[in-house]
């Protein structure tokens, strides 16, 4: 099958869509640009499908390249046949291509190569073909070295001393022939994936660990969920368990024997011996490694996908706008770090307080916080969820209560994930942003800003460090980084970036802009003042016409010359947007008038898309996107996402009762369920079986990170402080 046919079939999309998308990718267009501004060409494929298409395209092209390399290598040996050419054409995965190439690979020294050097290959062929009627020992005598006839320079290692050595060497050659057969390998893998079981045993059954469920465990290879595979791999790596694949050996041996042995003959027992040796010594260890590697690869792909979905939801969390926030980074001995951030993200003040052990200066800390609240008119606390978070939350709740009672002022708090805050604090970027601020205080700044604008803050750290994954440290780190970079790009470009306030970190994820160009934009902005229109970007060093086309629609200029530049309308569509506004008797300047917006929105909603697309000579999807943008100029798509739960009082574990109904925020979605923050120290777990009355294959089909859900407490483990929750109310 052609690459286009394969991708179309796998993704269940039209071949023309695949063909058009590949052309756009090959022309250098980015996925966000294609997804947003080339919908007519791709038929409206989403960024997720486009990324999957791009990955498969890359894999299949590499597969074709490898097939060609293998074909040439075999041809150069003069061994290429129509059968091999056909097998290569049919191969759909890289491992199948490698199996075809296996017999032709230059081998290191093996028992088979040693036997071949002794001249035993013709003897092996006689045994394998089973046509010679002579006694095997009589045949073997012909291959025993006659010491009297060899020259002095004959290599001693090539001497065949006796009949037994000749037969043994011939069987070694046959064992390798069987092992190298693509036909047998294909069958063995197929039957193993269908029937094999993975078994784990404890290395020390008396030793306590988090892997105890795997101390005596077995499950079919084809039903192992990805999280279990990764947990088993980790347990094996940490030497708590030993792992083995139990294969249907009898069935495999029978299949090979039936295929090779031609009825009862004098070679039968020798061939059975060679087949068993081939299986035990050569095939089984190799196939076990392949199965384990394949299981791990698939589990990693699933884990990376789950992590990517979670990260995207977290990045697109609703911002908390127009509030002054105190970032509260909890700690014990070193004190809780405090940073006051105004509604624009500007740092107003920092300090350190000691309300927790060992100092326990609750009154002194309370006095400092109340002064900061009154001085800066603080509305919110963002409390990090790390060490001492529980005690800090109780302390902040007391402060909020006193402020309400004494000053009649409403202040709330939210728990914020501080994953990666320490990574950011010590980074070069943080040093450049806050050269005069102590490293420990930068974490509090990051926590506050994460609540105000999660996307702008989280792009400053390695996506792997944002804490919404499952076994993210166990998977292929290069593949994880590539996937997460794509996720961040999609999120940033979905929201759009204000070019006059964005950091280089944020700008570098915009379609068509790399780190060098991002730094050049900020430098240009610093030297020339705020940009007034998008086309000024063309004056930025290294940002040429191609990069401009890719990035322009994702850049926002909020107080510029052209009101269209507060929207995602691309410069290539300005003319259409203005003609459309003229049709409804409005102008682009009306977009700046709040009183006109409802009128514009209503008129646009009454437009007949089919007729107007013909009249303006523009695609229906592009026209619809333009109408959406003109209906809500300057909108932030994250505003439609669930807002964080704002609290003013604390919930203790001891307050929980089975049957209690609570509202919580989904913090992480994994293969087997979701962790939900219900306001106690540790997140509760909603197991996949408790998510719905109906069967669910993937928890992510039901909930997303950041989503607010109602849950029921169904089980409490007081000793381990674990909470089991249900969404089946």
- Between strands 325-329 and 336-341, the pairing is antiparallel
pLDDT at 63: 95
- The answer on pLDDT for 564 being more than 90 is yes
Asked whether residue 624 carries a pLDDT value surpassing 90, the answer given is: yes
Pick the CATH number of 496-558 from 2.60.40.10, 1.10.150.310, 1.25.10.10, 3.40.640.10: 1.10.150.310
Is 90 exceeded by the pLDDT of residue 515? Answer: yes
450 vs 642: CA distance, rounded Å: 15
Q: Can you tell me the distance from the alpha carbon of 314 to that of 456, in angstroms, rounded to the nearest whole number? A: 12
pLDDT digits (tens, 9 = 90+) for 132-141: 989 999 999 9
Contact 332, 387 (CB under 8 A): yes
Mean pLDDT value across residues 629-640: 86
For the chain, residues classed under CATH 3.30.420.140 are 325-452
pLDDT at 649: 72
Contact present, 472 and 464 (Cβ < 8 Å): yes
Which pLDDT belongs to residue 656?
85
pLDDT at residue 636 in the model: 84
Range(s) within the chain of domains with CATH label 1.10.3500.10: 181-319
Instruction: Give the architecture-level CATH label for domain 325-452.
Output: 2-Layer Sandwich (3.30)
Q: Which residue has the tokens 């979605």?
A: 669
What integer pLDDT is reported at residue 545 of this predicted model? 95
Per the CB < 8 A criterion, the answer to whether 414 and 382 are in contact is yes
Least confident interval from 68-77, 126-135, 299-308, 645-654 = 645-654
pLDDT at 659 over 70: yes
Other CB atoms within 10 Å distance of the CB of residue 347: 19
**Architecture in CATH for domain 653-726:** Beta Barrel (2.40)
Helices (H), 408-503: 421-425, 428-433, 439-452, 454-458, 477-495
To the question of domain 3-104 being in CATH 1.10.10.650, the answer is: yes
Give ranges for CATH 1.10.150.310 in the chain.
496-558
Per-residue confidence (pLDDT) for residue 37, from 0 to 100: 96
Spatial contact of 74 and 84, defined as CB atoms under 8 Å apart: yes
pLDDT attached to residue 67? 95
Domain 181-319: what homologous superfamily?
A: Tex N-terminal region-like (1.10.3500.10)
Identify the CA nearest to 40 among candidates 510, 572, 471. Answer: 572
At residue 291, the pLDDT reads: 94
- What mean pLDDT value characterizes the chain? 91
pLDDT, one tens digit per residue, over 153-171 is: 677 778 888 999 999 999 9
pLDDT at 470: 67
Handedness of CA 383, 387, 392, 393 (dihedral sign): positive
First CA to last CA distance, the chain: 50
Note the maximum CA span of the chain.
113
* Rounded-to-integer distance, Cα 510 and Cα 553, Å: 10
Q: 622 falls in which pLDDT band (50, 70, 90)?
A: very high
Lowest mean pLDDT among 403-417, 453-467, 468-482, 525-539: 468-482
Nearby residues of 228 by Cβ (< 8 Å), 6 or more positions away: 219
Q: Please give the Cα distance from 328 to 337 (Å, whole number).
A: 6
**In this structure, how many other beta carbons lie within 10 angstroms of the beta carbon of residue 399?**
22
Q: Across 34-38, 592-596, 665-669, which has the greatest mean pLDDT?
A: 34-38
Helix then strand then coil, in percent of the chain rounded to 5, is: 55, 10, 35
Are 114 and 170 a contacting pair, CB within 8 Å? no
**If you average pLDDT over residues 688-695, what whole number do you get?**
89
Alpha carbons 169 and 140: distance in angstroms, whole number: 10
What pLDDT is recorded for position 146?
76
| Cα 252 from chain centre | 37
Q: How far apart are CA 692 and CA 130, in angstroms?
A: 63
Pairing of strands 216-220, 197-202: antiparallel
User: Which segment of 53-62, 88-97, 120-129, 468-477 scores lowest on mean pLDDT?
Assistant: 468-477
**DSSP assignments along 564-603, one per residue:** GGGSS--GGGHHHHHHHHHHTT--GGGGG-HHHHHHHHHH
pLDDT at residue 474, as a whole number: 81
Q: How far apart are CA 166 and CA 141, in angstroms?
A: 8
From the list 447, 442, 326, the residue with the least C-alpha distance to 395 is 326
Contact 201, 246 (CB under 8 A): no
For residue 272, what is the DSSP state? Answer: H
pLDDT at 654: 82
Given this model, what pLDDT does residue 428 score? 87
Reported as a single tens digit per residue, the pLDDT across 23-32 is 999 999 999 9
User: For residue 502, what are the CA distances in angstroms to 403, 505, 656?
Assistant: 35, 8, 43
Peptide bond into 600 cis (omega under 30): no
Mean pLDDT over 179-200 rounds to 95
Q: Give the least confident one: 123-137, 184-198, 652-666.
A: 652-666
Say whether pLDDT at 623 is over 90. yes
Distance between CA 291 and CA 279 in Å, rounded? 15
| pTM, rounded to two decimals | 0.83
Q: Are 200 and 214 in contact (CB under 8 A)?
A: yes
> CA triplet 343, 348, 354: central angle to 5 degrees?
115
> Is the per-residue pLDDT at 484 higher than 70?
yes
Rounded CA-CA distance 594/459 in Å is 32
Whether residue 274 is predicted with pLDDT greater than 90 in this model: the reply is yes
- pLDDT, residue 663, reads 84
Question: Tell me, what's the pLDDT at 650?
Answer: 67
* CATH 2.40.50.140 boundaries in the chain: 653-726
d(CA 492, CA 490): 6
Lowest-confidence region among 94-98, 465-469, 492-496, 685-689: 465-469
Evaluate if residue 418 carries a pLDDT over 70. Answer: yes
Q: Determine the average pLDDT of the residues in 710-720.
A: 87
pLDDT value, residue 77: 92
Q: In the structure, how many helices (H) and strands (E) does the chain have?
A: 30, 15
Q: Is 614 helix (H, G, I), strand (E, B) or coil?
A: helix
**Dihedral angle, C-alpha 198, 204, 208, 214, nearest 10 °:** 10
- Of 354-368, 519-533, 581-595, the one with minimum mean pLDDT is 581-595
What per-residue confidence (pLDDT) applies to 1? Answer: 64
pLDDT of the residue at 426 = 86
Q: Residues of 633-670 as b/e, b for ≥16 C-beta within 10 angstroms?
A: bbebebeebeebebbeebbeeeebeeeeebebbbbbbb
């Amino acid at each position: 099958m052609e690459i286009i046919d394969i991708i179309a079939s796998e993704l269940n999309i039209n071949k023309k869509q695949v063909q058009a998308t590949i052309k756009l990718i090959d022309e250098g267009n980015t996925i966000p640009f294609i997804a947003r501004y080339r919908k007519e060409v791709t038929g409206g494929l989403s960024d997720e499908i486009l990324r999957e298409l791009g990955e498969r395209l890359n894999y299949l092209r590499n597969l074709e390249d490898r097939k060609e390399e293998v074909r040439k290598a075999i041809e150069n040996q003069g061994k290429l046949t129509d059968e091999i050419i056909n097998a290569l054409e049919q191969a759909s995965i890289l491992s199948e291509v490698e199996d075809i190439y296996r017999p032709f690979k230059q081998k290191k020294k093996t028992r088979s190569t040693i036997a071949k050097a002794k001249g035993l290959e013709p003897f092996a062929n006689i045994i394998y073909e089973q046509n010679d009627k002579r006694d095997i020992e009589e045949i073997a005598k012909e291959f025993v070295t006659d010491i009297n006839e060899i020259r002095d320079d004959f290599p001693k290692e090539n001497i065949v001393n006796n009949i037994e050595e000749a037969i043994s060497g011939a069987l070694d050659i046959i064992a390798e022939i069987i092992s190298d057969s693509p036909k047998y390998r294909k069958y063995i893998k197929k039957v193993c994936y269908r029937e094999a079981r993975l078994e784990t045993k404890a290395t020390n059954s008396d030793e306590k660990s988090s892997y105890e469920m795997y101390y005596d465990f077995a499950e079919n290879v084809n039903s192992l969920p990805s999280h279990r595979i990764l947990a088993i791999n980790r347990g094996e790596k940490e030497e708590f368990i030993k792992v083995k694949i139990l294969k249907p050996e009898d069935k495999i041996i029978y299949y090979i024997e039936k295929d090779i042995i031609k009825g009862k003959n004098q070679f039968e027992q020798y061939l059975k011996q060679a087949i068993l040796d081939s299986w035990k010594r050569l095939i089984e260890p190799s196939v076990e490694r392949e199965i384990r590697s394949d299981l791990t690869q698939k589990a990693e792909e699933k884990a990376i996908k789950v992590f990517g979905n979670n990260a995207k939801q977290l990045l697109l969390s609703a911002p908390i706008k127009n509030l002054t926030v105190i970032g509260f980074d909890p700690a014990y001995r070193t004190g809780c770090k405090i940073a006051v951030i105004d509604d624009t993200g500007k740092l107003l003040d920092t300090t350190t307080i000691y309300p927790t052990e060992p100092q326990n200066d609750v009154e002194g800390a309370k006095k400092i916080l109340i002064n900061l609240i009154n001085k800066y008119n603080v509305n919110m606390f963002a409390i990090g969820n790390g060490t001492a978070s529980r005690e800090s939350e109780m302390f902040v709740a007391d402060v909020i209560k006193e402020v309400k009672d004494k000053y009649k002022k409403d202040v709330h708090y939210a728990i914020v994930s501080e994953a990666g805050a320490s990574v950011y604090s010590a980074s070069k970027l943080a040093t450049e942003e806050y050269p005069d601020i102590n490293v420990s205080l930068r974490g509090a700044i990051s926590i506050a800003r994460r609540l105000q604008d999660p996307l702008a803050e989280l792009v400053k750290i390695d996506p792997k460090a944002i804490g919404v994954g499952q076994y993210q440290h166990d998977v292929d780190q290069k593949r994880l980084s590539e996937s997460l970079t794509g996720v961040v790009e999609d999120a940033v470009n979905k929201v759009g970036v204000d070019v006059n306030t964005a950091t280089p970190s944020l700008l570098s994820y915009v379609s068509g802009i790399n780190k060098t160009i991002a730094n050049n934009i900020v430098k240009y902005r610093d030297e020339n003042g705020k940009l007034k229109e998008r086309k000024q970007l063309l004056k930025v060093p290294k940002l040429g016409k191609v990069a401009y086309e890719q990035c322009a629609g994702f850049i926002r200029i909020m107080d510029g010359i052209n009101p269209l530049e507060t929207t995602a309308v691309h410069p290539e569509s300005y003319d259409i947007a203005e003609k459309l506004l003229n049709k409804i008797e409005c102008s682009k300047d009306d977009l700046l008038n709040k009183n006109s917006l409802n009128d514009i929105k209503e008129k646009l909603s009454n437009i007949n898309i089919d007729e107007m697309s013909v009249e303006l000579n523009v695609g229906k999807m592009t026209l619809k996107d333009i109408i959406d943008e003109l209906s809500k100029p300057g909108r932030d798509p994250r505003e439609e996402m669930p807002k964080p739960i704002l609290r003013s009082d604390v919930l203790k574990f001891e307050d929980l009762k089975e049957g209690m109904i609570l509202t919580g925020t989904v913090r992480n979605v994994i293969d087997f369920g979701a962790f939900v923050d219900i306001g106690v120290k540790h997140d509760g777990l909603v197991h996949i079986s408790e998510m719905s009355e109906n069967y669910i294959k993937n928890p992510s089909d039901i909930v997303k990170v950041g989503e607010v859900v109602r849950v029921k407490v169904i089980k409490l483990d007081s000793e381990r402080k674990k909470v089991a929750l249900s969404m089946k109310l």
